[in-house]
Amino acid sequence: MTDIIERLRTLPPQTNLDTILISCVEMGASRIHLQTDSSLKIRVHGRNYAAPGQRLRWTNTEVSQALAKMYKSSTGPSRLSQAMAIDTSYVIWPDRAKRRYGFRLNAVACTIGSNDGIGIILRPLPEKPIPLEEQYVEPKLAEALDGESGGYLICGVTGSGKTTLMGGVTRQRLEDPDCHCDIVEGAAPLELFYDLIEQNNASIQQTEIPRQLANFPDFIRAAVREEPTDINIGECRDTETMAATIQAIISGHRTMTSVHTNDPAATIRRVVSLCPASDRDNLAIAFVDNLKLIVNQRLLRSTDGRRTAIRSFLPFNRKIREALLDAPQTRWPNMVRGFVEEYGQTFEQSIKDVHAQGRISDKIAGRAMKELD
């Protein structure tokens, strides 16, 4: 803690934005907060730190200039003033022979006291997607992820590592010389890049939404015409995207996407609710009939001061799919909860395993167990 505060104390002035951001990444920041009339704040392995005193206290002009630089347009601040949010990416690559620094950028207009201001959140992204073995992916889950068709849902709340897990899966498929895959991926924005990954007998084409295509349904419609083996969809958050995603799944493509949910039972409920009401029954049945995996992930503070994942997941076999299809949709969430215990892995099991491996402390394990109640 003292080391981080001291390093915050020695950061350069606001005019050196890129140097500040790179320094925050080197400190291990997972979240960087710039806000009008506030000091720089960062989050490192689940703990918050602020630049001491008046150090790096940003004026509205300085925040506006920072946003214009990262948005690559002077229209950024005016966009916020029109009650529109900015959700994009920002990349720093000062030396092509050295590391590239990527960030997900979210900016909104906000209120500070009685005044209007700007709030910017930057979430640093890894230069390369993290391999699955470094994410402690369970052997049973790794086996379930190894399929060539159907739907794969990677779920969790914001900041739970969904994108990281999806990136690891994609990296593994690209690096596997026996996996002759052609992946098309759409995300809003793109957070992970694969140009530094060796693509042995595979390819990937990435499209940013809405900068390069207006929305996910447009991306999916274009993708299915490009003869891909895999379609990766950054997130299903509305009825149009869910309907298009299910069409991609049933057309024979391996389709991977994310949904904001807490556990597999909530995921199946959320998917059904996102299907358009006019065709909900047919789409929900088609989805379940082609579903291969639901995995939900959460992050806990680990014994090394960082964070580690716990997961609840359910690989879908023919028996599970037929049982669901023979039952009313209202029963699906409870049935999935039972199937997770019988065929998959519960959060409780994951906590016990991670604790036994020494990756989380007794205190963290106990607290996580209580939160499951």
In sign, the C-alpha dihedral spanning 26, 28, 30, 31 is: negative
pLDDT value at position 65? 95
- Give pLDDT, residue 191: 86
What Å distances lie between residue 142 and 135, 165, 166, CA to CA? 11, 11, 12
**Which of residues 190 and 119 earns the better pLDDT score?**
119
Tokens 């779920």 identify what position?
A: 155
Q: Output the CA angle 223-224-225, nearest 5 degrees.
A: 90
pLDDT in tens, 286-313: 999 999 999 999 999 999 988 999 999 9
Predicted confidence at residue 220, as pLDDT, reads 95
Spell out the residues 6+ positions from residue 253 whose beta carbon is closer than 8 angstroms to its own: 149, 223, 224, 228, 229, 230, 231
pTM of the model: 0.84
21 neighbors 92 (Cβ within 8 angstroms): yes
Given a contact cutoff of 8 angstroms between Cβ atoms, the answer to whether 216 and 248 are in contact is no
Of the candidates 330, 321, 322, which has an alpha carbon nearest to the alpha carbon of residue 272?
Answer: 330
Which pLDDT score, from 0 to 100, does residue 203 have?
Answer: 97
pLDDT at position 357 is: 97
Average pLDDT over residues 189-214: 92
Q: Is the pLDDT assigned to residue 346 strictly greater than 90?
A: yes
Band the pLDDT of 1: cuts 50, 70, 90: low
Q: How many Cβ atoms from other residues are within 10 Å of residue 142's Cβ?
A: 14
Q: Give me the pLDDT at residue 124, please.
A: 93
Go through the chain and tell me how many residues it has. 373
pLDDT at 316: 98
Can you tell me the mean pLDDT for 120-140?
A: 95
CA 116/CA 118 separation, integer angstroms: 7
What mean pLDDT, rounded, does the chain reach?
94
Please state, in angstroms and rounded to a whole number, the distance separating the CA atoms of residues 309 and 246. 28
pLDDT of residue 234: 93
Model confidence over 170-189: pLDDT tens digits?
Answer: 999 999 999 999 999 999 88
Given this model, what pLDDT does residue 246 score? 96
**Which domains, from first to last, does the chain contain?**
2-125 (3.30.450.90), 132-371 (3.40.50.300)
Question: For residue 55, is pLDDT > 80?
Answer: no
Element (H, E) at 353: helix 347-356
Answer whether 136's CB lies under 8 Å from 37's CB. no
pLDDT average, residue stretch 352-357: 98
Q: Looking at residue 2, what is its pLDDT?
A: 72
- Taking the C-alpha atoms of residue 162 and residue 172, their distance in angstroms, rounded to an integer, is 16
Higher pLDDT, 244 or 53: 244
237 neighbors 257 (Cβ within 8 angstroms): no
Q: E strand or H helix at 309, and its extent?
A: strand 307-315
320-335 pLDDT, tens digit per residue, is: 999 999 999 999 999 9
pLDDT recorded at residue 96: 84
Question: What pLDDT shows up at residue 54?
Answer: 66
Contacts of 158 (CB under 8 A, 6+ apart): 260
State residue 218's pLDDT score.
95
d(CA 175, CA 198): 6
**Residue with the larger pLDDT of the pair 13 and 135:** 135
